[in-house]
Structure 1
Amino acid sequence: MALLIVLAVFAGSSTATLAGMTTPKETINKGLEVSGNYKWVADATDKYNCLANALGDRSKWIWPWGSKKPTSSKVNNYLADKGYKYSQPMDSQNVAVYEIISYGASSGIKHFGRIVSQKTRAKWGQLELLEHNGWDLYSSAYYGNAVRKYAVK
């Protein structure tokens, strides 16, 4: 009986949400401004990437720029064709309008996240799909700062 109670407590803890992770937490912590700022959402896979997830399509890998990092202008054009518009200024008070956020630098975007209830849900390359608190959360050595946010047209 005691073992059953311990298992029930463990299953309800936040540690249980990390059970499907294959990437060591130290690796993930190094990529974030605040260590431990993540929740596991889905297993690692090479089936889809950050942009595919941001667009809501987990059936394929999407990166129309080949092996290059696109400029913000190229991302603006691509996302406009997909029904999104670049929103300026980045209004933290009106979070409901934003759906996609780009990371890196204006001269080279290297990551995308999807905004879900004031959190960022992002697929880390071939690694797991994770959810993070906040929008500007990556260390500069990893994906970099938040560059632009996009809303549905």
Structure 2
Amino acid sequence: MATVTGYVERIKYRNEDNGYSVLSVADGGEEYILVGTFPYISEGERIEATGRMVEHSIYGEQLAVESYEIKAPEDTLAIERYLGSGAIKGIGAALAKRIVKKFKADTFRIMEEEPERLAEVKGVSERMAMEISSQVEEKRDMRQAMVFLQQYGISM
């Protein structure tokens, strides 16, 4: 078994019907190709995946993922990168930069616990702040459900 922890640089392929995906993941300067079922993952997210290294006749070495967990970004740059990746609808690179500049490492806590404070950032209305918070909460709940189901060998 092999484990890769890194950031999803690019989703090269995704079957929307069953979630089967091919991901490009950066791990400490190395790039890995991960294949498996990832129905709720976005570019910019940090992932820890475990599986078997296999050699594809056309595409080369890949990690055939058997289990994975979405991890929280490790630093403010990673938070900014995640938010700017399009994972949260309505937040682009410029807005992500302003949000993280304002709230730093507390960004996710603010989004979950004090979402009205997002309106302190130029370009964020109170309504948008609540929509962002709702999306963050929905993604968190989906991750928790995936982790729970994986404990019983069920993948989504």
| TM-score normalised by L of structure 1 | 0.32
Structure possessing the higher relative contact order (Cα contacts under 8 Å, 6 or more residues apart):
1
* Structure whose residues are more often helix by fraction: 2
